[in-house]
Amino acid sequence: MSGRPEALFPLFAGLETLDGIGPKTAKLLPQLGIERPRDLALHLPYGLIDRRRRDTILGLELPATVTVAVTVGAHRPARSRAGAYRVHVEDAQADFQLVFFHARGDYLTRILPVGARRVVSGKLELFDGMAQMVHPDHILPEDEADEIPAVEPVYSLTAGVTQKMLFKAGRGLLAGLPDLPEWIDPALKAQEGWPDWASALRAAHEPRVQADLAPTAPARARLAYDELLAHQLTLALARAKMRRGKGRVTRGTGALQARVLAALPYRLTGAQTRAVDEIATDMAQPQRMSRLLQGDVGAGKTLVAFLALLIAVEAGGQGVMMAPTEILARQHLEGLRPLAEDAGVVLEILTGRDKGREREAKLAALARGDIQVLVGTHAVFQKDVEFHDLRLAIVDEQHRFGVSQRLELGRKGAATDMLVMTATPIPRSLALATHGDMDVSVLDEKPPGRKPIRTAVVSTERMDEVIAHMRGAITEGRQCYWVCPLVEESELVDLTGAEDRFQRLRAALGEGVVGLVHGQMPPAEKDAAMARFVSGQTKVLVATTVIEVGVNVPNATIMVIERAESFGLAQLHQLRGRVGRGTAQSTCLLLYQPPLTEGGRKRLEVLRETEDGFVIAETDLAMRGAGDLIGTAQSGLPRFRVADLERQAGLMAIAQRDARKLLAEDPTLETPRGRAARQLLWLMSQDEAIRLISVG
């Protein structure tokens, strides 16, 4: 795909090519995310000021923005340098004052000569019973008053950049927009009543009424759709590339799976059966599988993942399961070991900790095919790790695995099928934004026998009762987690918080009963502390971060989360899911520091009301916005300038369908609509996509 189309050059030129933007302002605009004219075009106003002319200010509710023709009366110069210079003016029925500070009298007598007619526009306020307009935005002779826009858009600004500058630069840019070919499906465009691209931009920058600012206004919806379509085209191209990579047909015999299922004390849920079928169907195709397995806490993802790995082994190949941290990799190993014994397959672990001879022996066994299922951290991708016949890679993703890593993983096993697991129920719109290149299987049922977790919201003022409750549980042989909040960004503050809590609980519950895990510990100490808790030596585990607690201890029945109001909903839901894994009744205590904010109260109530992760995620999205929900920095979540993932979730699904359909009909984007779509990708700076087409 050759370089950027010429029609787009002006949109990617320097900022100084814009009307009224000099070198100084050009240096300030990037703080608004405006680095090229294209960014200014997508920097849409968030409000509007009505500057339509009135005859009089009489009867107005102040403060208000007013545009009115006046006759200029007496000037009252300031008494001191810091004082106010006042000019008396009269409209058709009332009078008021124009007020200026640090003003030069000669300048004001020139633009406001006594007896002259002027149109003034600005904010009118009451001060000591007198209506006054401080520093009017516009003062013009009547014959030039048409220069004042009837409705003026309001933009977000940064120091040194004014509304007037953005308005002027934007108007110049909008006047010269290129006519681009239409990339939106004509039927969809007609059905939604969307304008053309250039008309949409002009309309979005010239709102007439409040409704024009809503995400649902046709011009805005169209521009949002452009962004979402470009993003989904990129994901669809990545998906097509993954699928063009020759897949292998992997068909299981079902023999090993049958052994595992026979040994289970319960039957699979409908959702688990469905997910295993979807995965098996994908693996049997000649294209590579790229599937997301999305499951709520405790929905039984591990079992589905293991059955998928067995399909690879039954077909004579190998499978690998990757976790983001050493602790989680070991946990997967513990979880899979009994299943592997039931199936009679060889299971091993490989992490950065394997050194020397031991590592060499494992690598040799892998290359021979003696190890059938490998669990590990990113260490399984090092150059010297070679598989005999890798058929399936499973990534437990904890949000650290973006599209680029998925493409990277695809390169390791020439034809490896890929399954990404996430334990975070993501609302559908976000799942499409981050995993739109994948097919999705959802586990939305809990296996039988799980008791619901009792959730209580308790003020920290009742700390003593909480500790007494724990003492009772420990006497009955139960175990408890105590999670301390991440107070500051600094690890040290958390550390003291956790250390203090550890000391206090140890004093209350006895020596040797309480363990501590925090981010500053050396890994070996952390593992030892975890191991003591898992084996039941310690009864209470005090921990700072969530990840450290990602352990499966069926005997743990109490989860205390201190300062719960400072955690996100999804995080609290994940933490709560660490208990309730055995047969006993479990409790989650959300400790809050009064007084609670409105948002904090609502979050804790949602948790008390429901254990459905998908409901919780949708609420979280509505309350916090998409970036916060996943933590934009590591989410791989695209940053959209116009599209609003909370309010325009429906458009994302349409964009995904449309992008896939367009590529299915025109894989190299050569048809007229395909060529238009290329322009869209250039316009939205989707360089990754452009590379994918050119190497396509």
Q: Are 56 and 93 in contact (CB under 8 A)?
A: yes
Give the Cα separation of 337 and 325 in Å (integer). 18
Please, which residues have CB within 8 angstroms of residue 395's CB and are 6 or more apart in sequence? Answer: 322, 401, 406, 409, 418, 419, 420, 421
100 beta partners: 85
pLDDT score recorded for residue 564: 87
Handedness of CA 682, 686, 687, 692 (dihedral sign): negative
pLDDT score recorded for residue 671: 92
Question: Which amino acid is located at 170 in the chain?
Answer: G
**Does the bond joining 63 to the residue before it have cis omega, within 30 degrees of 0?**
yes
Give the Cα separation of 618 and 606 in Å (integer). 11
Q: What element of type H or E holds 536?
A: none
54 beta partners: 68
Numbers of helices and strands, H then E, in the chain: 25, 22
Give the Cα separation of 235 and 432 in Å (integer). 9
In angstroms and rounded to an integer, the radius of gyration of the C-alpha atoms of the chain is: 32
Tokens representing 651 are 């458009």
pLDDT score recorded for residue 392: 92
pLDDT score recorded for residue 414: 56
Q: What element of type H or E holds 368?
A: helix 356-368
Please, which residues have CB within 8 angstroms of residue 694's CB and are 6 or more apart in sequence? Answer: 1
pLDDT score recorded for residue 548: 46
Write down the domain spans for the chain. Answer: 6-47+168-213, 52-148, 255-443, 454-610
């009909």: which residue's tokens?
Answer: 665
pLDDT score recorded for residue 273: 95
pLDDT score recorded for residue 399: 47
3-state SS, 20-86, equals CCCHHHHHHHHHHCCCCHHHHHCCCCCEEEECCEECCCCCCCCCEEEEEEEEEEEEECCCCCCCEEE
Domain 52-148: state its class. Answer: mainly beta
Give the Cα separation of 392 and 202 in Å (integer). 50
pLDDT score recorded for residue 578: 81
Tokens representing 234 are 């990129």
Q: Are 591 and 564 in contact (CB under 8 A)?
A: yes
Residue 276 Cα distances to 270, 306, 449, 555, 569, angstroms: 10, 10, 21, 29, 29
pLDDT score recorded for residue 277: 96
Same fold? 255-443, 454-610: yes
Neighbour-count burial of 147, counting CB atoms closer than 10 A to its CB (0-12 exposed, 13-18 middle, 19+ buried): exposed
What pTM does this model have? 0.65
| Helix (H/G/I), strand (E/B), else coil: 224 | helix
Give the Cα separation of 468 and 67 in Å (integer). 69
Strands 117-127 and 138-141: antiparallel
Q: Are 283 and 251 in contact (CB under 8 A)?
A: yes
pLDDT score recorded for residue 605: 86
Handedness of CA 614, 618, 620, 626 (dihedral sign): positive
Question: Residue 431: left (phi > 0), alpha (psi -120 to 50), or beta?
Answer: alpha
Q: Quick one: 454-610 is in which CATH superfamily?
A: P-loop containing nucleotide triphosphate hydrolases (3.40.50.300)
Q: What dotted CATH number matches 255-443?
A: 3.40.50.300
Give the Cα separation of 390 and 313 in Å (integer). 9
575 beta partners: none
Beta strands in 573-660 (DSSP E): 587-592
Q: Name the residue among 460, 482, 461 with its Cα closest to residue 471.
A: 482
Give me the average pLDDT of each 10-residue run along the chain (696 residues): 79 87 87 88 90 87 89 88 87 90 84 90 89 90 84 86 87 91 94 95 91 91 94 84 75 93 89 95 89 81 93 95 82 89 94 88 94 89 84 75 59 72 72 75 77 88 90 91 70 64 88 84 81 88 65 83 83 82 85 84 85 75 52 50 78 89 90 92 78 58
Neighbour-count burial of 251, counting CB atoms closer than 10 A to its CB (0-12 exposed, 13-18 middle, 19+ buried): exposed
Q: Name the residue among 283, 519, 323, 347 with its Cα closest to residue 422.
A: 323
Handedness of CA 243, 245, 246, 248 (dihedral sign): negative
Q: Are 696 and 667 in contact (CB under 8 A)?
A: yes
Handedness of CA 408, 409, 413, 416 (dihedral sign): negative
pLDDT score recorded for residue 294: 85
**Does the bond joining 178 to the residue before it have cis omega, within 30 degrees of 0?**
no
Q: Name the residue among 58, 63, 48, 114 with its Cα closest to residue 91.
A: 58
Q: Are 466 and 458 in contact (CB under 8 A)?
A: yes
pLDDT score recorded for residue 230: 92
Q: What angle do CA 458, 460, 463 make, to 5 degrees?
A: 90
